[in-house]
């Protein structure tokens, strides 16, 4: 990708201008997504992106950070994630070393030593705190809260509180307030329903799998070395796979992986033999692979 300098979010005059900037970095956003993203920047509201895995939610956050020329700070959600893992932690090994060094130096002022142990230099900033500390008016960081549906309800409620005023209270140090709200993108694969309270705090957009022509355009932009015939065959086959009742429906990420695998093998088109040995790039379950292999001719020919 080409390098870019920081571009203030306010510099985009319209959704079309933002879409063109994303396009220059090989992310093809449709009108609805470009508008939602533009409004999120302009209104300083978090953007909640929902859709099946592989449709480009995470990639949008990465590309937007590149377009703006600002840091991307990612919080990957998972079951059991708690506030401490997302906010901050104390560096106990460094605190212990400092304590031993002070003892060796003969420091006897307990109150002073205790205050030194809880100095900012011993604080390990996790993604949410880093996003607040590094975001400024001219360089707002992009905070990606990825797959919020994997986290517990308690963390979801905590995140809502942070996104409401962009402040974090650290008992030993005081309150940290963002100089300027970061650009926030929250994603969900909809493995469970996210509470309405969090969605109401955000602008919402559902990402569909791209239409055939758009998927062809995406693959061509990312893998220009692939032949036009191969790209169209992969896009068509992937679209037909999405029509099957598979355990894991392939997204754009998988169609890109499949094309890249075929290009690595020197394929110029998609024949049954090559498709059979490369299905692992697009299908991730044995049951899905076995089912598709039995009907490869239908998959490739569309009839």
Half-sphere exposure of 300 (CA within 13 A, CB side): 16
CA distance 262 to 265: 5
Supply the DSSP string of 59-79, one letter for each residue: HHHHHHHHHHT--EEEEE--T
SS3 content of the chain, % helix, strand, coil (to 5): 50, 15, 35
Inter-residue contact 166 to 181 (CB < 8 Å): yes
Range of weakest confidence among 64-73, 174-183, 208-217: 174-183
Task: Provide the H-helix boundaries in 202-242.
Answer: 212-222, 228-242
Please state whether beta strands 72-76 and 167-170 pair in parallel, antiparallel, or not at all (unpaired): unpaired
What tokens appear for 39 in the block? 């409004």
Q: What band does 252 get if pLDDT is binned at 50, 70 and 90?
A: very high
CA 119 to chain centre: 32
CA distance 125 to 127: 7
Asked whether the predicted pLDDT for residue 130 surpasses 70, the reply is yes
pLDDT given at position 32: 95
CA distance 261 to 255: 10
Asked whether the predicted pLDDT for residue 115 surpasses 50, the reply is yes
To the nearest whole number, what is the mean pLDDT of the chain?
90
pLDDT given at position 1: 38
Inter-residue contact 1 to 66 (CB < 8 Å): yes
pTM for this one?
Answer: 0.86
Q: Which value, in Å, is the radius of gyration of the alpha carbons in the chain?
A: 24
pLDDT given at position 7: 57
Q: Which residues pair with 188 in a beta bridge?
A: 50
Give the model confidence (pLDDT) of 143-166 as tens digits. 999 999 999 999 999 999 899 889
What tokens appear for 68 in the block? 């703006």
157: Cβ–Cβ under 8 A, 6 or more apart, which residues? 195, 197
Asked whether the predicted pLDDT for residue 277 surpasses 70, the reply is yes
Residue scoring higher pLDDT (34 or 91): 34
Asked whether the predicted pLDDT for residue 131 surpasses 90, the reply is yes
Instruction: Return the SS3 of 251.
Output: coil
Give the model confidence (pLDDT) of 254-264 as tens digits. 999 999 999 99
pLDDT given at position 9: 59
Inter-residue contact 262 to 242 (CB < 8 Å): no
List the 142-146 sheet strands across, edge first: 72-76, 142-146, 183-188, 47-50, 203-206
């Amino acid at each position: 990708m080409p390098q870019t300098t920081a571009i203030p979010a306010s510099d985009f005059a319209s959704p079309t201008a933002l879409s063109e900037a994303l396009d220059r970095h090989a992310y093809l956003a449709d009108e609805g997504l470009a508008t939602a993203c533009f409004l999120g920047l302009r209104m300083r509201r978090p953007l909640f992106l929902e859709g099946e895995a592989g449709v480009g939610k995470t990639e949008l956050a990465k590309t937007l950070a590149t377009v703006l020329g600002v840091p991307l700070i990612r919080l990957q959600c998972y079951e059991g994630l708690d506030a401490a893992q997302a906010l901050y932690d104390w560096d106990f090994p460094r605190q212990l070393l400092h304590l031993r060094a002070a003892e060796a130096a003969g420091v006897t002022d307990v109150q002073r030593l205790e205050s030194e142990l809880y100095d900012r230099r011993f604080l390990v900033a996790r993604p949410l705190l880093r996003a607040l500390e590094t975001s400024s008016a001219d360089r707002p960081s992009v905070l990606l809260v990825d797959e919020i549906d994997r986290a517990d309800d308690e963390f979801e409620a905590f995140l809502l509180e942070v996104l409401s005023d962009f402040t974090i209270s650290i008992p030993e140090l005081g309150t940290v307030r963002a100089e300027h709200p970061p650009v926030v993108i929250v994603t969900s694969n909809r493995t469970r329903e996210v509470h309405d309270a969090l969605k109401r705090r955000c602008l919402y957009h559902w990402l569909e799998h791209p239409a055939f022509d758009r998927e062809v355009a995406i693959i061509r932009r990312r893998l220009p070395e692939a032949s036009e015939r191969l790209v169209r065959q992969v896009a068509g086959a992937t679209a037909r796979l999405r029509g099957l009742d598979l355990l894991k429906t392939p997204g754009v990420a998988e169609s890109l992986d499949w094309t890249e695998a075929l290009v690595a093998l020197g394929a110029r088109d998609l024949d049954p033999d090559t498709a059979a040995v490369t299905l692992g790039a697009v299908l991730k379950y044995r049951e899905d692979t076995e089912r598709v292999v039995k009907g490869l001719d239908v998959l490739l020919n569309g009839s």
